[in-house]
Structure 1
Amino acid sequence: MEKEQAKFRILVFPYLAYSHVYPYFELSKKLSNRNFHIYFCSSAINLESIKKTLQESPEDSSIELVELHVPPSPQLPPDLHSTKNLPPDMTLTLVQAFQMSSSSFSVIFNNLKPDLVIYDFFQPWVPKLAASQGIPSVYFATSGAAPFSYFHHLYTHGSISTFPFQEIYLLDHEKVDLKAPVKLEIKDADQDFGFGVFKLSSEIVLIKGCKGFDGKYMDHLSVLCQKEIVPTGLLVHDSKENIEENSDILQWLSRKERFSTLFICFGSEHFLSKDQIHEISKGLELCNVNFIWVVKFSVSVEDKRVTLEEALPRGFLERVNGRGIVVEGWVPQAKILSNPNTGAFASHCGWSSVTESLYYSVPVIAMPHRYDQPINARLVVEAGVGVEVVKGQDGLFTGEEMSKAIGIVFAERSGEEMRIKARKLSEKIKEEEEQEVDEVAKKILRLCLKNK
């Protein structure tokens, strides 16, 4: 009973993106096992999948789910209050709707009266609300230290020419997003929207990463934002959801040779055009390796649903029969990456995908699209655990270039060198992870005790 009374209550509040929700939830699980009581706040659609995970893990009983009311609209019904199946042209609409949920969050905050709040990039109103009531709040960054260091340097100095790590860069077609006036289009965005969340964080900033991999970027970010950067570890999420439905994929993979199979997936929020699907198909035919390819389609309410057969080149499935599987929708990514027969991961290089690949010591074939992805791709190449597919000046991939990159990773000598480096990095990451979470818990406890 005394132990229960000693628990501090932490309100955890990520942005609605799938790639944010699960790192926040994994951190919540780690903290709940270190004598904190967690209130996890998100939209109803996000909480549905979290509930299933909690049912699988009864030991996480110190996590309570709290529903955030996001105002629905004809353009954005409740089932789209997440980025998991959100059409790309609706991203800004979701961010705007999220800002309109601030009043709902205020009610939740006032009812729960937490000892500390962990918040995300898009809601500077959270630490301001907490500060108005004398409650500490901590920003948790789910992207890696390298892109945050790069973009915060640009934000602070107005130029990237003095950025100290020249191996990290953006190509001309990748700089378009830097000019997008998103902040001006967001309802009620003030001077703290964006990088102001670093300034508002109480003493520390948490970041998904590990010192043994991207520590030098954490150090530079700490100087830029004048906060102590505390890594959380990689927080790899291994869901058991739908594994039985996909057991045929895992059985197929188990029959292949060691390191012989390429896994291709571009995350839950990135959708390929038909032309790019055809180029990847061409690359897979040219390279002649085994593969599991996850294809996702972006379909608006009015659009006719596209089938795999319509999206892929005519006869492709017949030509790759036996050495390739093409799947629409969800697959057990962690199970595929942890399988010894998986030899590489062709990825858009979202941070969650990169960290899973590193955790399971799988080399990366980097095919970045936008935002932090190109920087993550260069980080992987710098570490010697991957190769980036060369893009044209239009920023698009060709099948020929994809095939070349696959050839490098699956070649006997170069592939073995990458796998050895990936294995050593994975060992270092796993050695550090529990110690890093212990340090996070210690820092948060100190903030809670200060407030008492």
Structure 2
Amino acid sequence: MEATADAADVLEVVIFPWLAFGHMLSFLELSKRLAARGHAVAFVSTPRNIARLPPVPPRLSPRLRFVALPLPRVDGLPDGAESTADVPPEKIDLVKKAMDGLEAPLTAFLADAVAAGRRPDWIVHDFCHHWVPPIATGHGVPCAVFTTVYAAFQAFLGPRSANVEHPRAATEDFAVAPRWIPFPSTIAYRRRSEAEWIAGSFRANASGVSDMDRVWQLLELCRLAIYRSCDEIEPGMFALLTDLFQQPAIPAGILLPPVIADDDGDRAEALRWLDDQPPKSVIYVALGSEAPLTPGVLHELALGLELAGVRFLWALRRPSGMFSAANDAVTGELLPAGFEERTRGRGLVRTGWMPQMAALAHGATGAFLTHCGWGSTIESFASGHPLVMLPFVLDQPLVARAMAERGVGVEVARDEGDGSFDRDGVAAAVRRVMVDEEGKALASNAMKLREVLTDHGRQETYIDDLVERLRRYRGCC
């Protein structure tokens, strides 16, 4: 949708995502849709992250500008690390600490904007920016938080008041739906390892502030909460969130990115390889940018794909510290000895950036083995592929349970305690989706979900409704 807003209705919006590419790309999609409606958007991040974002369509560039704020140095953070993709999982909390150091540069940016007569109407920021609302309020600017994870995850976490009334101290408390969910629900963490991880988000980390304290502080100060979701995928959830947090919960739609086939390097090779495969014969494998991958996890996954006997394209994340290494060198270190030779002809492993939407949209792709990050799950909706699900942290286990209930995927069998899995479990899940009769029903259900969620007119209506809310509440700090 392309439109030009009347001068009096033009919004000045500052967009400020968390320093993780899944988040930045979601915020960029929201930015592009606002700019396409004639609104002025300033996308704030750090220099290296901005340089790595995909280009914006030229028609939007007059209304979508990028503001680079220098990320301060933090002890223990590698030089040049500006996103979660640049560090191993154990250093992500140091990225939060570094991001907290953007408080002074953001304050200066807002002061300059106000002095120049361009006071923003809104700052739309991410989950961990608890220090932004006080700064914004000091400059007369209201804030909205944009949540890029599964909305039901926010309901599971609940507001501070509900957690005070119904405290959850033991990991077992996170294995059942919280008491503030007023309808029958399976929203819970099934395995001890999952529950232990989410319980840890309530404790202070290396940044000095717990993730939950960040979320609670900003939700208590923000005027609106925006979600990358919609009623079709989470019916009733936004009314519940509005009631729980006592603020409007607004779905922005699923914000599907465009399918762009990049013709550079490994990416072109992967798509050319797909061109040579039979229709619906390949399972696309990608576990996102932040899954806590270990050599053991990668080896069992690889050997499971080998046992399954189906064609696969694996977008293997290159670990931190190996950005300049050649693909062969990286895969040789990470995969079982002889794996690529034994699967040559029916499997391809590529490191580096993969055009995921293009790979999923390719006619040779028939299923998606995913970690169930919300962004990747949303991208799967556009293709209508059934899922083989291997969730790790955050909202991923909840997303996996929801997709299993909808009949669009199956989870890899795992130990109920430590969450470990083996090659046999991977092979069995892949064959259920790609080979067995069950896979036909899963594929049919996935296509039905695709038809609902790719209704362009309906998705654009969510953005129009969001814009009306932003107009209605601007100036209300």
TM-score, normalised to structure 1, is 0.92
Deviations 1:225-245 (A, max 9, x none): 122211111122347484332
Question: Does residue 229 in structure 1 map to residue 236 in structure 2?
Answer: no
Which of 401, 406, 430 does residue 383 from structure 1 map onto?
A: 406
Equivalent residues in 2 for 1:25-424 (5 A)?
25-50=28-53, 52-54=54-56, 56-73=57-74, 75-77=76-78, 79-112=80-113, 113-152=119-158, 155=163, 157-159=166-168, 160-162=177-179, 163=181, 164-170=183-189, 171-180=191-200, 182-183=203-204, 185-187=206-208, 193-202=214-223, 204-238=224-258, 240=260, 242-245=262-265, 246-300=267-321, 307-392=330-415, 393-411=417-435, 413-424=437-448
1:91, CA displacement in angstroms?
0.4
State which drifts further: 38-47 or 243-252.
243-252
Instruction: State whether residues 9 and 38 of structure 1, in contact with CA within 8 Å, keep that contact through their aligned partners in structure 2.
Output: yes
Quick check: 1:284–1:403 contact (8 Å CA) kept in 2? yes
Q: Which whole-Å CA distance do the structure 1 matches of 2:210 and 2:397 have between them?
A: 27
Conserved in 1, the CA contact under 8 Å of 2:74 and 2:97?
no
C-alpha separation in 2, matches of 1:78 and 1:208: 32
Q: Deviations over 1:393-436 (max 9, x none)?
A: 32112110111111111135322211221112112112221111
Q: Which residue does 1:436 correspond to in 2?
A: 462
Q: Secondary structure at the match of 1:211?
A: coil
Per-residue CA deviation, residues 96-151 of structure 1 (Å, 9 max, x unaligned), is: 11112111111111112212111111112212222233322111111111211111
Quote how far apart the aligned CAs of 1:167 are.
2.2
Decide whether aligned partners of structure 1 residues 243 and 447 sit closer, same or farther in structure 2, where only a CA change above 3 A counts: farther
Change in CA separation of 1:364 and 1:190 when aligned onto 2, cut-off 3 Å: closer
CA RMSD across the alignment? 2.6
- The amino acid across from 1:348 in the alignment is H
- Between the aligned partners of 1:238 and 1:70, the Cα distance in structure 2 is 30
What is the count of residue pairs matched by the alignment?
448
Report the Cα distance in structure 2 between the residues aligned to 1:59 and 1:129, rounded to whole angstroms: 29
Q: Structure 1 residues 310, 77: CA separation in 2 closer, same or farther (over 3 Å shift)?
A: closer
Show the counterpart of 1:24. Answer: 27
Alpha carbons of structure 1 residues 268 and 238: separation in structure 2 relative to 1, 3 Å: farther
Amino acid at match of 1:42: S
Q: 1:191 to 1:151 in 2, by over 3 A?
A: closer
Q: Report the Cα distance in structure 1 between the residues aligned to 2:138 and 2:197, rounded to whole angstroms.
A: 34
Query: What secondary structure sits across from 2:384 in the alignment?
Result: coil
Change (3 A) 1:239 1:70: farther
Structure 1 residue runs without a partner (length 5+):
none
Separation in 2 of the partners of 1:373 and 1:155?
Answer: 22
Q: What amino acid sits opposite 2:187 in the alignment?
A: I
**Match for 1:283: what amino acid?**
G
- Compute the displacement of 1:192 (Å): 5.3
Between 1:31-40 and 1:442-451, the stretch displaced more is 442-451
The superposition leaves residues 306-335 of structure 1 with CA deviations (integer Å, 9 ceiling, x where unpaired) of 631232222211111110001112111000
- When residues 2 and 14 of structure 1 are mapped into structure 2, their CA distance, relative to the original with a 3 A threshold, is closer
Whole-angstrom distance in 2 between the partners of 1:330 and 1:71? 27
In structure 2, the gaps of 5 or more residues are 114-118, 169-176
How much has 1:359 moved relative to structure 2?
2.3
